[in-house]
Structure 1
């Protein structure tokens, strides 16, 4: 989840809200790739989640990165709650999940190198203090009561609010992990086409990256329980956003959607002020109960945009949000998947041609079925495994067309980052299927073995 945003000064005109989004438009040669991933930390001897403080803790890992690997501290109320370096940041999710939000980079070779360096640094520190990290979409064994709460004011407010708007909000906050990629757009029209493709094909990413078949210590009946959790979190701020496919959709329509998302907070002088359930529209009029008479800044607007959680969303860039956290190879595969679809116009057009005839019901059916069945999902005549194969073909063509070389020119393009996904499509098995095979096979129902065999 996001750190406080820096959006700008006072909002004096309604038009500034859409202009803020539009200011993210960049020419093609300036497009970047930002990869984010979360992971669960645990004590190796007890297999319990890491507390915030102590000899074996999240704080010890943050301090190790700060002191041994050149990261600068980010503090809130005197507590170390994040790190910054070279355009990237390390932050904490509510239950202590450690997140790398990567720097905006030119190609997938670079973003994968960044991921690799980060995981190697984290492992170096973790091994010294008896800590492990694992990439899964949902915590397989831990209960909500076992999860620590990080010392961030935003999370305290959200925790209190979640049970009022859904049944799984706390599970999302404390016991899920994701990997996502952030991409650029050139214009409003480019944003519209990309967001429509992103939403329609997000279930394919959910299926290919499904990696959460366990929850509360048992099999849960879904390949991606993380995706299932997001479907019962808060309908006002989640979902597949059918209005994005309406004629005339653009930045102004996104503004109207975001204004209807209930607020969580206002950030002032290092503190989060409770604005739970209040209206940003009232804030614009100076009628926000939390801050009577005060009107928002663009930084407040930027903060508010981070509190909408659909399957794909826009800020000054676009975020693909449908994938479970997972094994090392898939952390590089997700940006390859979306960059191949989005950053070559021929591939983007082909992807849109593939999905433009679907209605909202089909898109939602695919979303639900992907979470349950992975690559065996089906919505009407659309079969997920066949769809995923076609989509990967489009993505591969897009990466070949980009022709971004790596390894000092020895690697001609970025297509090899799709290999893990191609193997899944050929076999019909995603990470969740492998985990279930182990659980019913060699593990003989002993789910604790997941930590030793699947940690980074």
Structure 2
């Protein structure tokens, strides 16, 4: 969730950086599930990007949501850029191109995730429909060029926008044209964090294949099933990827801190101002050697903000964030938390998943990650197709959710949320492959029908 932290205590030692992450350790009884999802706003008439300004813009949408929900506005330089629930619920924020993000509250069950989504959907529709705004549930905008997309008034994005072209081919596409859904999960100890991080990193390509639905760029097939996932391969490799060190001996909170210290920073926030320090490391800042802020030492806020600008396939903060999936229509959103909760929150399933991936090497994991955006389930690792492994993991996840035994008011456990994924496995085709068939068939070579079929 991109709400900047505010804790201005200057940092004295590396131990404090480690302790900040380690504070995420929780007993299993307190494990929660957080789900964040982004969706692309479009004008119902003409299916164009929605500007921030104006009576029917994103700003007006946020103002309407503020009145409806009674949530606190997040302001920047006089503009409303987000909302948060002071009672510890969720938050709403804007991605650079206006993508509308709900960062859900930490909840106990996937049933609650589903309820939260339904409520959010009803609330957003109540405000957006009169403004003529719809939302698209795909991993990437299928028809707009980057130049068409308006820029949201957030200081951190201005700095990122200037820096991105220096470090990769697709950074601006990532910012302005992509959407994701991610699940945030807890750990009970350092060893538990490491095990979950390793399993989920190795298996992130499965989520990419199951959720792949970004096969179009500017109205035409782009040659990929998840172009969103391909974009991350050349966005900024100093801060993204499969972090192979996570599988080495000695991995733990300290090792991740050492990695994060060397990831180039984007900004330092002081009051309302974002100071551009892009390209310099947190390690230098920590040593008082930042050229823009000579002699100044970072605060805990600076550290928390910096950790939120690192983008590996699984990110460690005070919880683990699964980052491999394309944004999807609302009916499929709860399937992502269900998949990972079944695998990672049940110890038998976690052990079985570790058995699947433990013998993979770093180059093999990397090759799978590199192949999955284009080939989806047909990507291979060792002598197996990803499809077989996905099938196996779905069985493990299903069993894990059944053993968790979290029942809704109708007596159903959380495994019911895997149904959309089970249907995908039954047909053997990712959502993107289904879309490409429609494009070449009933859609008659146009992506316009996506704005109806994949809208929220």
Instruction: Report the alpha carbon displacement of residue 7 of structure 1 after superposing the two structures with TM.
Output: 5.2
Larger displacement relative to structure 2 (289-298 or 133-142): 289-298
Equivalent residue number for residue 117 of structure 2: 115
Equivalent position SS for 1:189: helix
Is 1:248 the equivalent of 2:250?
Answer: yes
Equivalent position SS for 2:241: coil
| Structure 1: gaps (5+ residues) | none
Is 1:168 the equivalent of 2:198?
Answer: no
Equivalent position SS for 2:265: coil
Equivalent residue number for residue 257 of structure 1: 259
Is 1:44 the equivalent of 2:56?
Answer: no
The structure 1 residue matched to 2:405, chosen from 384, 403, 406, is 403
Equivalent residue number for residue 426 of structure 1: 426
Q: Given that residues 219 and 446 in structure 2 are in contact (C-alpha distance below 8 angstroms), is that contact kept between their aligned partners in structure 1?
A: no
Is 1:438 the equivalent of 2:442?
Answer: no
Instruction: Report the alpha carbon displacement of residue 11 of structure 1 after superposing the two structures with TM.
Output: 0.9
Equivalent position SS for 1:109: helix
Is 1:12 the equivalent of 2:12?
Answer: yes
TM-score (norm 2): 0.98
1: CA distance, partners of 2:421 / 2:254: 36
Instruction: Report the alpha carbon displacement of residue 81 of structure 1 after superposing the two structures with TM.
Output: 0.2
Equivalent residue number for residue 202 of structure 1: 204
Equivalent position SS for 2:129: helix
1:193-243, CA deviations, whole angstroms, 9 ceiling, x for partnerless residues? 000011000000000000100012210011000000000011100100111
Q: How many residues align?
A: 454
What does 1:101-112 correspond to in 2, within 5 Å? 101-112=103-114
| Structure 2: gaps (5+ residues) | none
Is 1:156 the equivalent of 2:158?
Answer: yes
1:274-323, CA deviations, whole angstroms, 9 ceiling, x for partnerless residues? 11111211111112112111101111111110111000010111100000
Is 1:386 the equivalent of 2:388?
Answer: yes
Equivalent residue number for residue 28 of structure 1: 28
Instruction: Report the alpha carbon displacement of residue 124 of structure 1 after superposing the two structures with TM.
Output: 1.9
1: CA distance, partners of 2:439 / 2:289: 55
1:142-171, CA deviations, whole angstroms, 9 ceiling, x for partnerless residues? 111001110000000000000100110000
Equivalent position SS for 1:136: coil
Instruction: Report the alpha carbon displacement of residue 29 of structure 1 after superposing the two structures with TM.
Output: 0.3
Q: Given that residues 312 and 320 in structure 1 are in contact (C-alpha distance below 8 angstroms), is that contact kept between their aligned partners in structure 2?
A: yes
Q: Given that residues 137 and 178 in structure 1 are in contact (C-alpha distance below 8 angstroms), is that contact kept between their aligned partners in structure 2?
A: yes
The structure 2 residue matched to 1:218, chosen from 196, 217, 220, is 220
Larger displacement relative to structure 2 (118-127 or 175-184): 118-127
Aligned alpha-carbon RMSD (Å)? 1.1
1: CA distance, partners of 2:170 / 2:424: 29
2: CA distance, partners of 1:310 / 1:444: 38
1: CA distance, partners of 2:320 / 2:101: 18
